[in-house]
Amino acid sequence: MSLDPGCAAPRQTLTVLEARRTILDAVAPVGGHECVALRASLGRPLARDVIAPCNVPAHDNSAMDGYAVRAEDLPADGEVSLQVVGTAYAGRGFSGIVGRGQAVRIMTGGVMPMGADSVVVQEVVRVDGERITVPSGLRRGQNVRRAGEDLAEGGVAIPRGKRMGPAELGLAASLGLAEVAVTRRLRVAFFSTGDELASIGRPLAPGEVYDSNRYTLHGALARLGYELIDMGVVPDRPDELEAAFLTAAGSADVVLTTGGVSVGEADFIRDLMQRLGEVGFWKIDIKPGRPMAFGRIGKAWMFGLPGNPVAVMVTFYQFVQDALLKLSGVDPLPERPMMPAVCVAPVRKLAGRCEFLRGRLFAEDGVWKVKPASAQGSGVLRSLSEANCFIVIDENRGDVKAGETVPVQLFEGLI
Ligand code: AMP
Ligand code: MG
């Protein structure tokens, strides 16, 4: 595997897809697992298949409120009168047997009484004291949920590699499981580089900017549920950077840095990386976020993201997040849905690079439309905060006219 295809190939730059593929092909799950209480598993990938220890549902039961009957008692046409001999509630069944000409009042979720095989919904039945009149047209087994219909005992209920979400928590609970085996929490160390950076909590000196990148990264990483090692701001000094890289790589699975990889700044970091590990410095056909470093220092994977705050977010979500998911055992990786939307304003765009523009997706007259943010500078975090999607304009495309359709990538998923 080459970590530096940009250098090996005659071309100097990588496309977004090539960069993603190179990174995702390079990394493999870090391994390790632990058993945790069900609620604590939220967001974590399963280390093993969850096997159903019982059938779900556990018993044949009614899908509707109605009457449990024997299909053979029902007429092919016309009506039949049946005697109601008891009631089956959800959680409190009918202990007798339904005989010929009989029926049992049954509620949704009630266990099917012995002898009955079908449920007639209450809406089609005429009640007269202890007797009901049932029309024809019922199929055998109608309105009955079979034991094991959702999940058969011994089957895989949730596969290894799946991240536990609300549905999976509920599914595991429906099987009576109090614990599940999840993969070890990934350890991610991160720091910001730059002599101009000040940490929040003190006034800015002339020429300084507050370090915002560590906070965006904290947010993005904390959501993934990882163990975070925030190493603060490291100035652009080779000795301090070397110490920070060695500490980070010695204590984490992944080291993330921001800043210092742009042309002009990268040289001494590149020399440093070449001494400390195997790291490629890439130019990617992407805006924002063209320069990026990726490779290994010791056992740790290293991502050197650009310094501009929006470029950090773009490169994190396009290149880093899925790599972290793969390292932490997520398999398969989630789809990255894109949807078409009508772009309501023109966009100036150079062909030859993929641009991720901040946009606001909205529905108007039943059509999905997207408005590009007016401020697209790679330092303008405000427009990222106001956006709800990236408008993704690929390498091959140039300017976009108002009214043209563009693909967008939503920031939020539903579940
Ligand atoms: P660099 O990639 O180091 O050349 O930085 C590019 C731009 O991003 C410069 O204007 C930096 O001041 C700014 N920048 C770098 N790191 C940060 C950070 N952690 N927080 C806010 N701005 C940053
Ligand atoms: Mg810098």
How does pLDDT run across 60-76, given as a tens digit for each residue?
999 999 999 999 999 98
Q: Where are the alpha helices (DSSP H) in 146-212?
A: 166-174
Return the best residue to mutate from 230, 258, 268 for the ligand 1 pocket (most ligand atoms within 8 A of CB).
Answer: 258
Give the number of the ligand closest to the Cα of residue 212. Answer: 1
Mean pLDDT of the chain: 94
* Tokens linked to 93: 């069944």
Q: Whose C-alpha lies nearest to ligand 1, atom 10?
A: 308
Ligand 1 is surrounded, with C-beta below 6 A, by 192, 194, 196-197, 209, 211-213, 258-260, 262, 265, 306-309
Cα–Cα distance measured from residue 360 to residue 366, given in angstroms and rounded to the nearest whole number: 16
Could you tell me the distance, in angstroms and rounded to a whole number, from the CA of residue 351 to the centre of ligand 2?
28
Closest CA to 190 of 176, 172, 211, 173: 211
Question: Under 8 Å CB-to-CB from 51, ≥6 apart: which residues?
Answer: 154, 155, 156, 157
pLDDT at position 6 over 50: no
What global pTM score does this model have?
0.91
Which residue(s) pair with 145 in the sheet?
61
Cα–Cα distance measured from residue 347 to residue 354, given in angstroms and rounded to the nearest whole number: 13
Could you tell me the distance, in angstroms and rounded to a whole number, from the CA of residue 229 to the centre of ligand 1?
20
Residue 12 binned pLDDT confidence (cut-offs 50, 70, 90): low
* Tokens linked to 192: 């910001």
Return the best residue to mutate from 216, 230, 234, 308 for the ligand 1 pocket (most ligand atoms within 8 A of CB).
Answer: 308
Residue 1 binned pLDDT confidence (cut-offs 50, 70, 90): very low
- Which one-letter amino acid corresponds to residue 9? A
| pLDDT (tens digit per residue) in 141-156 | 999 999 999 999 999 9
Q: Which atom of ligand 1 is nearest to the CA of 212?
A: 20
Give the number of the ligand closest to the Cα of residue 210. Answer: 1
Could you tell me the distance, in angstroms and rounded to a whole number, from the CA of residue 213 to the centre of ligand 2?
12
Residue 4 binned pLDDT confidence (cut-offs 50, 70, 90): low
